Amino acid sequence: MTPPQRPAGIDVVSEALADLYRRCRDLDQGEVADYIPQLALADPDCFGLALVSMDGHRYQAGDSRTGFTLQSVTKPFVLALALAELGTDPVGRRVGCEPSGEAFNAISLDPVTGRPANPMINAGAIAVTALVPAADPGERFARILDCLGRFAGRRLEVDEAVYRSEAETGDRNRALAYLMRGTGALAGDPAEAVDTYFRQCSVRATVEDLAVMAATLGNGGVNPVTGEAVVPEPVAVQVLAVMATCGMYDAAGEWMLRVGLPAKSGVSGGLVAVAPARFGVAVHSPRLDRVGNPVRGVAVLRELSERFGLHLMHNPAPGAATVLPDGAEAVAGGGALLAAQGALDFTAAERLLFALADRVPAAPGRLVLDLDRVTAVDATARAMLTRALNLLSERGHRVVLVGDVLGSGPWERVGPGT
C-alpha cells in the first residue's frame, strides 16, 4: 500500500518523525541478538520509524520498508487471537498477567499454579500459542498467520531461514515447553507448540506493517487502514493492559515511568507502542540493550511520548467546555435551561449533571436540557444522563430535551429553536 501524497509543507507529524530519526540514528550502543544465528546477520544500523493514526493516516521515516522477523512483537497479537477465541478465564487458567521482573526467556513459572508469569515472556507466549483452537498444528499456524495479517492489513509471510535457524537452536524454549507440560500450563504436545511458536516469531513484516498492527489495537481492534474489526474492543483493551505491565520484560516499570504507553519489543529490534485512541507507532533497530529492548526504539519512544504528551497517566488537555456559558438563561415557557456541547463521556456527564443539580427547583418544575450541540455520547455518559433524568422525572419534574442524542425516555423531546 503506497501512502497518499501529503500536502507539501504542513506535514508536522512526518517532520517530527524525521527529527526523531536524525536525533537517534547515531546511538550505537547495544548489540544485535546472535543467539538465533540468522538474526546476527541483520544490519545493525538499519533504523526505521512508522506511525499510523486512528484515521489510517500513515507516516514514516528512515528504513521503513525493510522487512524483518517480528519475534516477540507477535506475542500481543497472538494473545489477542486466543482471548478473542476463548475468553479471558480459559486463557487465564494457563497463563498469568503479572510482570515477571525477569528476562524474556526466564523459567518464570508460578510455584503453586505452574503457570508462566505473563504472555509477553517466552514461556507465556508458548502457552498462549498452543491455546489457539485448531484441528492440527498446520491449521493453528495458518490461523495465527492469518490473524497477524489482518492486524497488518496485508498477508504476511514466514522467513524460512530465520525459522530454521531458531528451530535448530531453540532448546531453551523447548525446555520451557516441556516444563510447562509437567506443571499443566501447556495444552497439547510441547514439540508442536514450540514449532508453531518458532514459526510465529519468524513472521516477516516492515515497521509500517507493525505501526498498522499497533494502531489496530489502539483503535479498539478495528484496523484503521482496512476498516476490518480484527478482534473485539474488550480484547484489544486487555491486550494493551498486558503490554503496559509486561511488554518490556524486566524494564517494564522503567518504561511505564518514562514512556507510559503499552508496548512490546522483540529480539530482532522491532518495537511497537500504542497511544490508545491516538495512534500506533513502530520502530525497527536491531541493536539491543542488556534486557533485550532496542536501544534506538526506546530512545525514540521516550522522546515521542514527551513531545506529544502521551504518557497514559498524563491529564489530557481540557476539552471544550461541556456546559455552555449561556446555559443558565431563563427560557420562554419557564423552567431552568442548561445547554451542553461536544462529546459527552464520564467527565463531561459529571460536569453537566453537577451544573444541572444547581438549577433543579425545589418544587417540581420544568427543566430544559439543550443537547443539540452535543456531537457524541458514550455508553457511560448515556447511562449517567438517563439515570439522572429518570430520577428527575420520578420526582415530578418535567424534563424537556432539545435534540435527540439520548433517544426516547421519560422526557419530552423538542427540535432546536422550539
Ligand X SMILES: NC(=O)CC[C@H](N)C(=O)O
Cβ atoms of 223 and 54 within 8 Å: the answer is no
CA–CA–CA angle 67, 70, 71 (5° rounding) = 140
Q: Is 72 in the site for ligand X (CB under 6 A)?
A: yes
Site for ligand X in 251-290 (CB under 6 A): 266-267
Cβ atoms of 392 and 363 within 8 Å: the answer is no
The catalytic residue among 53, 59, 75, 100 is: 75
Among 173, 223, 245, 341, binds ligand X (CB under 6 A): 173
Which residues, other chains included, contact 297 with Cβ-Cβ below 8 Å and sequence gap of 6+? 265, 269, 270, 271, 283, 284, 285
Among 292, 294, 297, 327, binds ligand X (CB under 6 A): 292
Among 60, 64, 71, 206, binds ligand X (CB under 6 A): 71
Of 316, 215, 234, 231, nearest in space to 274 by CA: 215
- Can 305 be counted among the known catalytic residues? no
Cα(69)–Cα(92) distance, integer angstroms: 28
Of 220, 252, 251, nearest in space to 234 by CA: 220
The catalytic residue among 64, 72, 265, 285 is: 72
Q: Any binding-site annotation on 21?
A: no
- Can 197 be counted among the known catalytic residues? yes
Report the DSSP beta bridge partners of residue 403: none
Q: Any binding-site annotation on 197?
A: yes
- Can 163 be counted among the known catalytic residues? no
Q: Is 166 in the site for ligand X (CB under 6 A)?
A: yes
Q: Is 196 in the site for ligand X (CB under 6 A)?
A: no
Nearest approach, Cβ of residue 78 and ligand X (Å) = 12
Query: How many residues make contact with ligand X (CB under 6 A)?
Result: 11
Cβ nearer to ligand X, comparing 203 with 256: 203
The catalytic residue among 21, 59, 163, 197 is: 197
Q: Is 122 in the site for ligand X (CB under 6 A)?
A: yes
Cβ nearer to ligand X, comparing 131 with 222: 131
Nearest approach, Cβ of residue 126 and ligand X (Å) = 8
Cα(132)–Cα(94) distance, integer angstroms: 12
Q: Is 104 in the site for ligand X (CB under 6 A)?
A: yes
CA–CA–CA angle 173, 177, 182 (5° rounding) = 145
The catalytic residue among 239, 242, 267, 274 is: 267
Cβ atoms of 361 and 368 within 8 Å: the answer is no
- Can 72 be counted among the known catalytic residues? yes
Cα(368)–Cα(31) distance, integer angstroms: 66
> Residue with CB nearest ligand X?
72
- Can 267 be counted among the known catalytic residues? yes
What is the per-residue DSSP string for 141-164? HHHHHHHHHHHHTS--EE-HHHHH
Q: Which residues bind ligand X (CB under 6 A)?
A: 71-72, 104-105, 122, 166, 173, 201, 266-267, 292
Residue ranges of the annotated binding site for substrate are: 72, 122, 166, 173, 197, 249, 267
Residue ranges of the annotated binding site are: 72, 122, 166, 173, 197, 249, 267
